[in-house]
Amino acid sequence: MSHKDRRGNSSNDGSSFKLNETFTSSEVEVKPTFESMGLREELLRGIFNYGFEKPSAIQQRAILPIIKGRDPRV
């Protein structure tokens, strides 16, 4: 059965689909703490109430571009 991925590329089965998991961009800024991201106070409270203390490496790079509506992988 043929199907298309979200970019419109066709493949016959899942085994032929390869996802490039390495993404880089000189425009991606690393934010070491949730506070340094300039998030709203109520969002920060929610993050800390769930027990998060520090963003993971991917969160440090992806949260702000996602909030701004930009795909951090491109």
Structure confidence by residue, pLDDT tens digits, 20-56:
555 556 678 899 999 999 999 999 999 999 999 999 9
* H-state helical runs in 1-74: 41-49, 57-67
Coil, strand or helix at 37: helix
Handedness of CA 49, 50, 53, 59 (dihedral sign): negative
- The predicted structure's pLDDT at residue 68: 84
User: How far, in Å, CA of 10 to CA of 62, rounded?
Assistant: 28
Q: Is the pLDDT of residue 57 over 70?
A: yes
- The predicted structure's pLDDT at residue 7: 58
Tokens (6 digits) for 24? 């880089």
| Predicted structure pTM score | 0.58
Tokens (6 digits) for 14? 């899942």
